[in-house]
Amino acid sequence: MKHELKNLEKVDAKYIMEGTIPWSTFPKIHVKATNIPKDYDDVVLIGQRFGNWRSALDNRGKLYYWNLTTRYSVWDRPTGDKLYEGEEQK
């Protein structure tokens, strides 16, 4: 990673903005399934879609979910029957 950072310092910003930077080969890493944390599936990306819901952050940085159809928002991730709530209204 340090090698790539040093190379980036030499690159013209134009190429960075275009996304046309050649990268060196990545080192081979062997990961066993036992190394993956149990809560790995709990990672939520901002804007990630869950059924008819999307995740977002409020102005305090707290994660919430909002329904794409009804615009209703909840703190806990919708599951089961609630996952596709509002789609029948489209």
Q: Does domain 41-89 correspond to CATH entry 3.40.190.290?
A: no
What ranges do the domains of the chain cover? 2-29, 41-89
Q: With 80 as the cut, is the pLDDT of residue 56 above it?
A: yes
Using CA atoms, how far apart are residues 45 and 56, in angstroms rounded to an integer? 8
User: Is the entire prediction scored with pTM above 0.75?
Assistant: no
Question: What is the spatial order of strands in the sheet that 53-57 belongs to?
Answer: 49-50, 53-57, 63-67, 73-74
Helices (H), 11-88: 13-18
Specify whether the CB–CB gap between 60 and 75 falls below 8 A.
Answer: no
Residues 24-52 have pLDDT tens digits of 666 666 655 555 556 556 678 899 999 99
Helices (H), the chain: 2-10, 13-18
Q: With 60 as the cut, is the pLDDT of residue 88 above it?
A: yes
